[in-house]
Amino acid sequence: MCCVEKGYNDCMNKSRVTKFGENWKVRRLTTHTPEFLGLPTDVWPTGGGWERAGEDIVIGFVDSGIYPHHPSFASHHRLPYGPLPHYKGKCEEDPHTKKSFCNRKIVGAQHFAEAAKAAGAFNPNIDYASPMDGDGHGSHTAAIAAGNNGIPLRMHGYEFGNASGMAPRARIAVYKALYRLFGGFVADVVAAIDQAVHDGVDILSLSVGPNSPPTTTKTTFLNSFDATLLGAVKAGVFVAQAAGNGGPFPKTLVSYSPWIMTVAAAIDDRRYKNHLTLGNGKMLAGMGLSPSTRPHKKYTLVSANDVLLDSSVSKYNPSDCQRPEVFNKKLVEGKILLCGYSFNFVVGAASIKKVVATVKHLGAAGFILVVENVSPGTKFDPVPSAVPGILITDVSKSMDLIDYYNVSTSRDWTGRVKSFNAQGSIGDGLAPVLHKSSPQVALFSARGPNTKDFSFQDADLLKPDILAPGYLIWAAWCPNGTDEANYVGK
């Protein structure tokens, strides 16, 4: 065994220690998908339909925990689960409610934080000293793989269909080793994997990996983490690991082992498109999971920088539309607010959720986010919104909108607006558009070639192994999750 979890003296008491390894940090790697993959028509029927897809299989998730109250993880009363004699995992209790994290669907729930505690990174008040998911990532990945079938998707009062895991009858075993503020430590991940194998999981799902090739070994896959995966495979466990999120740049792969399945992320054939119709009749394409403005009505457009309060002095970028108190409500109410999609959105300092809150507070009819500059590797995600809104991602279309606004807006010699004359309306972006297209590699998905050492020399091994949908997947979340700012509290 590789002893990377505890101190030297404790390791010396282990009778089968074969190697010491330096501890290092790791990070997280996260409706229509079953149909896109052909599961309902081509795969599930061969095993008795979705009602038996994954029956008696235990999938172990080494991730950020689970939110057990989500309906994706509820025990199925119409089709009750039978016993699982081959699985021996245990279930921790919630320290606050004293209730078990397990039911017939969730059959194991444990957390691992010894290395995090030793490093002084673990705070039980923030990180939950239990399998409770404080991030959202673990619940999301568990539901994608093994969540219940036919779970209604509702956001802001709108229906987005029904969700299903790929193997909806599989059981879930939770091994929490990742935490929302600092990620995790390889010693805790290794301990979780060892425990999962010992407990008898059939499959290990790993959306976790290092930040870069390990510096402690001459070869990328001869470290404690990958050696542990080899042990899991030799024990008969199928191991799938995410390729990583470092794309589109080459040699960003962080899944090195020859003995496991490395999975790249793909975009499926579903898109959430929307459009903005200007007062001059021009239509601009964009994206947005939002309702439309009132049909057959044009609304006045006002730029965020033109409707600031005279007394507003802010260290924040007002065009991000994150703080309603800096705007003149009388000038914004009933109009469409024009905001800028700055780099703050890319790094997480700004969110569409806060734009929506600003619009609601000011009584605006909707919002437009325009992208004026695009950095390499930037991806744009449609975010569900309770108010009409659209994100214009094409820089040329953004320039068309800005030109129209400037030409239509009357100003005095100081540049102050005398009258807002630009108009527009936002279309309905709630319904997906399906393209008959093959899967495409997601922009963020890590690329090969695989590397054999820290100097990034090419390895004689092709990776990733397979491609699977991994972008814009509707699945479970947890209300206390912080992995995605736009979904905090949802």
Same domain, 250 and 310: no
Which of 3-12, 136-145, 376-385 shows the lowest mean pLDDT across its residues? 3-12
Phi, psi (5° rounding) for residue 205? Answer: -110, 120
Whole-structure pTM value: 0.72
Q: Which residue has the higher pLDDT, 459 or 249?
A: 249
Same domain, 452 and 375: no
- Look at the chain and report how many structural domains it folds into: 2
Same domain, 309 and 383: yes
Which of 4-18, 21-35, 169-183 shows the lowest mean pLDDT across its residues? 4-18
The residue with tokens 């010992």 is 198
Among 431, 456, 472, residue at a domain's last position: 431
User: What's the pLDDT tens digit per position in 121-157?
Assistant: 898 888 889 999 988 889 988 988 888 887 777 766 6
Same domain, 351 and 399: yes
d(CA 476, CA 258): 31
Same domain, 40 and 93: yes
Same domain, 159 and 29: yes
Same domain, 264 and 279: no
Which of 113-127, 417-431, 457-471 shows the lowest mean pLDDT across its residues? 457-471
Helix ranges (H only) for 87-223 are 114-118, 124-127, 137-146, 186-199
Parallel, antiparallel, or unpaired for β 440-441 and 261-267?
antiparallel
At residue 8, the pLDDT reads: 32
d(CA 9, CA 116): 19
3-class SS at 143?
helix
Domain limits at 117? 2-269+436-487
Same domain, 377 and 469: no
| 239 touches 261 (CB < 8 A) | yes
Q: Name the nearest CA neighbour of 425 among 286, 221, 245.
A: 286
User: What's the pLDDT tens digit per position in 50-74?
Assistant: 667 778 999 999 999 999 998 889 8
| 47 touches 40 (CB < 8 A) | no
Among 431, 446, 474, residue at a domain's last position: 431
CA angle 478, 484, 486 (to 5 degrees): 95
3-class SS at 123?
coil
Query: How confident is the model over 480-490, as a mean pLDDT?
Result: 56
Report whether pLDDT(434) > 50: yes
Which residues, 6 or more positions from 216, have their beta carbon under 8 angstroms from its beta carbon?
21, 22, 24, 223
d(CA 217, CA 411): 65
Q: Which pair of tokens denotes residue 19?
A: 């190697």
d(CA 81, CA 77): 8
At residue 131, the pLDDT reads: 94
Same domain, 193 and 255: yes
d(CA 490, CA 154): 10
The CA distances from residue 29 to 63, 75, 188, 242, 261, in Å, are: 10, 28, 16, 6, 15
Same domain, 240 and 93: yes
State the number of CA atoms in the 13 A half-sphere of 398 facing the CB.
20
Which residues, 6 or more positions from 392, have their beta carbon under 8 angstroms from its beta carbon?
276, 284, 285, 286, 368, 369, 370, 371, 398, 401
Same domain, 13 and 123: yes
Which of 1-15, 83-97, 127-141, 277-291 shows the lowest mean pLDDT across its residues? 1-15
The top-scoring range by mean pLDDT among 127-136, 203-212, 234-243, 453-462 is: 234-243
pLDDT band at 310 (very low <50, low <70, confident <90, very high): confident
User: What's the pLDDT tens digit per position in 186-225?
Assistant: 899 999 999 999 999 999 999 887 666 666 666 666 678 8
CATH number for 389: 3.50.30.30
Element (H, E) at 61: strand 58-63
Report whether pLDDT(32) > 50: no
Q: Which pair of tokens denotes residue 208?
A: 């976790």
489 exposure class (CB count in 10 Å sphere: 0-12, 13-18, 19+): exposed
Same domain, 313 and 212: no
Which of 105-109, 197-201, 385-389 shows the lowest mean pLDDT across its residues? 385-389
Which of 161-165, 167-171, 412-416 shows the lowest mean pLDDT across its residues? 161-165
CATH number for 30: 3.40.50.200
